[in-house]
Structure 1
């Protein structure tokens, strides 16, 4: 039996495998454009919700998107943008967008 802590770097799971919401976020920002979290939540809802679900079912996923975006921003994997400026992932309020970290 293999313990997760003993896995080599080659066997380690990617963030997207750990939580599917992270995968949605990383795919959304991979285009290089700023992405509203509502767009990501809507994509998740479109893939996961039942056909009989209400149109605003995407709201159910907003908390998960925000939490995982903060997690990724703390790991320097993406930027949280508020009013055109990079926001502190530990202290921001209101509307925001997500941006891929540039590889300068």
Structure 2
């Protein structure tokens, strides 16, 4: 029986939080950093995880744990288009 992707969602959220903890209080990560951390292969299959990572980042924003930024400024996760960064909530 499948968990509907919740296991993957939790792994991605955990990867985002762990990567941010390693970067320090002002560090940011690219969503691809989390996708690569979660992906088990050594090819570019991590790319298929980019949208799940963005969704996980939005959930962390909603929980008050992270911010999504563009150009160093926080943006509304639902309006962000193009490249984003993820950082700890400030």
Query: Which bracket does the TM-score occupy, shorter chain normalised?
Result: 0.7 to 0.9
Contact 1:69-1:78 within 8 A present in 2 as well: yes
State the partner residue of 1:96: 84
Q: The residue matched to 2:82 in structure 1 has which SS?
A: coil
Inter-partner Cα distance in structure 2 for 1:77 and 1:21:
14
Instruction: Give the 4+ runs in structure 1 shifted more than 3 A.
Output: none
State the partner residue of 1:28: 19
1:80 aligns with 2:68: yes
Tell me the CA shift for residue 29 of structure 1.
Answer: 1.1
**5+ residue gaps in structure 1?**
1-15
Question: Which of structures 1 and 2 has the bigger CA Rg?
Answer: 1
**5+ residue gaps in structure 2?**
1-6
Contact 2:61-2:89 within 8 A present in 1 as well: no
State the partner residue of 1:68: 56
Q: The residue matched to 1:95 in structure 2 has which SS?
A: coil
TM-score after normalising by structure 2: 0.79
Inter-partner Cα distance in structure 2 for 1:63 and 1:92:
13
Q: The residue matched to 2:44 in structure 1 has which SS?
A: helix
- How big is the alpha-carbon RMSD for the aligned residues of Structure 1 and Structure 2? 1.8
Contact 2:60-2:66 within 8 A present in 1 as well: yes
Contact 1:74-1:89 within 8 A present in 2 as well: no
TM-score after normalising by structure 1: 0.69
Q: How many residues align?
A: 80
